[in-house]
């Protein structure tokens, strides 16, 4: 894994490039890494309107930031599919909803890995 270190005994179950939509607002393109203990997301590009406007004026390289969601904090996992959007919506124990959107690509392996403890 690129910038994440696995804990001793932790196993990577799946990784996928997709969009992350945080609970408050925004949309980030990056890589989701799912282990048996947590979800890790490395946000590469801010795809929201304000983020895209910033990209016009500033040259950025590297990461926009990281998120980590421990699996023991996941209260619910829901899959939503339409023609142009395949999503996994993860609800944490504090009620926040984190959406991982693979666009038209399959999301089933990511959903299965998130549900695996």
* pLDDT above 70: percentage of residues in the chain: 82
Residue 7 resides in a domain: no
| Structural domain range at position 42 | 12-115
pLDDT on residue 8: 93
pLDDT on residue 35: 97
Residue pLDDT, tens place only, 15-52: 999 999 988 878 889 999 999 999 999 888 776 544 43
Q: Which residues contact 39 (CB under 8 A, 6 or more apart)?
A: 32, 33, 67, 68, 69, 71, 90, 114
Whole-number Å distance between alpha carbons of 108 and 13: 13
Mean pLDDT of 5-12: 91
User: In which element (H, E) is residue 56 found?
Assistant: helix 49-57
CATH number for the domain including 39? 2.30.29.30
Residue 109 resides in a domain: yes
Residue pLDDT, tens place only, 42-66: 888 776 544 433 443 333 444 457 8
Q: How is residue 55 annotated by DSSP?
A: H
Residue pLDDT, tens place only, 86-107: 999 999 999 999 999 999 999 9
pLDDT on residue 15: 96
pTM beyond 0.85, yes or no: no
Q: Which residues contact 23 (CB under 8 A, 6 or more apart)?
A: 96, 97, 98
Q: How many domains does the chain have?
A: 1
Mean pLDDT of 61-80: 84
């Amino acid at each position: 894994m690129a910038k994440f270190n696995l804990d001793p005994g932790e196993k990577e179950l799946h990784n996928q490039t997709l969009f992350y939509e945080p609970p408050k607002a925004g949309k980030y393109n990056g890589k989701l890494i799912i282990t048996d203990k947590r979800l890790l997301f490395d946000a590469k590009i801010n795809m929201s309107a304000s983020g895209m406007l910033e990209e016009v004026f500033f040259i950025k390289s590297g990461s926009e930031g990281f998120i980590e969601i421990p699996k023991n904090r996941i209260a619910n996992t829901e899959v939503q599919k339409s023609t142009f959007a395949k999503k996994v919506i993860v609800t944490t124990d504090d009620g926040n909803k984190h959406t991982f959107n693979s666009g038209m690509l399959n999301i089933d392996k990511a959903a299965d890995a998130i549900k695996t403890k």
